[in-house]
Structure 1
């Protein structure tokens, strides 16, 4: 089961004896998970998890969210300060107030929810409890008054995190685009699963006209698709090509030939660790940020438990061509260390991204343009 038969040098039967004295005090699955968690923590390895099982779970009631930032006005009504952009064709990033037929604008006031005045409650979300996914009537107005109101129907969502993530990515993309006069692209990869691969595809191909690329691996939760992305980013130019009435192209196709910079932080984890390791090993570009998480001894799935619990045992680990274990317990070091100030980052000042822009613009100065199309052959000679 565990990848290292020596159990990292531990006397595993002795560890069992150390923790079994706690078993008489275990009263439910949460207690048992705690004891098992402490026990497997002795291994000092990432991906050693225990969770779930037969235990009571609260019946959570989802509050309806409008995909907007609201504030209470002196009038007692709630002002719509900002409407979060979304992708309304994707369930995870549907923004209720931007859907077709919803006549609501930033700066409008919410007067009532389902006919109940918002002035009668301390918090507007009291009126939105249990409304996620259900149609709700909002009474809105361009002024904080009951005269001249209009009613609109919206369907609140249960989670706004996807909208905030989408907004953050779009703002970063626009920031990089403006700072580089349209020459540098930006991609954030949130994980190395289907979602992260979809994000890569969604943002990589529309930016193939860029000269250089910033790849943001910060907060990457891992998975297993990093080799696919590395292979795509690391294609080597073999030939240029042309066709009549078209521009010069590359063979293989779909390449960004200019410099590449990667951003990492202490939340770049698992396959999000392996990604920058490969990037650095293959000398694909400069890495900026903070040392990555450092957990690459991988897992496949849980052993079966009668109560449906989940216990992950790290089963496989990477080592380099010198026969040395890599990354686990340490992470991947950036080439340039930049630690974001949390207060500045919350205010929108991303010092790591700023540094990436600075570095890649400097590197772009050395980029050579593709050769011109040669003179066409004269076959009469």
Structure 2
């Protein structure tokens, strides 16, 4: 039986070229980048080159990039860093109801420590209204954090419009771009953002590796202490192999972005057309106009998410209920809840996400098997 992996939004397989680029930094070049001897300077040079590659992918300056252990730490660093640096100016933060838990839980922690957070609602497509952000701004607002593209339904937010409002009001703007990086071209020279989070393992890079763009005029308080690495903004010996792998993944991702977007659009069409031809009832969750092409969140009324996932796994298809961070719990999606979808839609949602290694044949096979399972399960439920 062929196993088909359609959970790339949770994590992606390591690209072979990325592994090849990393291996020398496990086998030969093991020096600490902070050491002054030749071993250390060899890895220091490699880290500097990798930082330039990541910076170039965002059209940022190398000095504006700090490496982290992943997207979660990048989000925490941005939000906690601004919150603590500006606590004397204000303690009000604006975010949305559909953020990744790395943002929502960090904001919840701050609420328990004297900060006030406004959670902006979204429409039925999962979009934040820029005007609702404007109306939520107060005199003591110090940070706005709205994700670039949602990890569950793929909806892309009006980042430019929200960022323009933040700039107009003199408020720092952070975007969690972890899911969108590698799918959307990003240029921080024209995009009005002050902080932007990205992660390696979403673009066929290594797990445990991320980065945060911090605009050159933005000052944050570090939340990791004990060393002068990353210009004193993130203490800890650099994960050299991970950094090298991240840079290689970013280079490959940038080179193949347009081709992959077209490929994943085709995959979406294959699945939707197959289900229509099989007379499978379904509803697409999220925006049909503003979306990340590699994410397809769909509900099959008359089925249950957990039952579908088990049947799909038996059939050799890996899909998800939504965010990987709640995988295994079958908790109701806070994203779909915020979108106000009907209970039947909420309880039957699945996320298929495409990526490196998938083929049209695999997608067609997965669509047919999914359709057959839906028809069988929904009939049994009646």
Per the TM superposition, whether the score is higher than 0.5 is no
Q: TM-score range by the shorter chain?
A: under 0.3
- The structure whose residues are more often helix, as a share, is 2
TM-score for both structures, normalised by structure 2: 0.23
Q: Using CA pairs under 8 Å that are at least 6 residues apart, name the structure with larger relative contact order, 1 or 2.
A: 2
TM-score for both structures, normalised by structure 1: 0.23
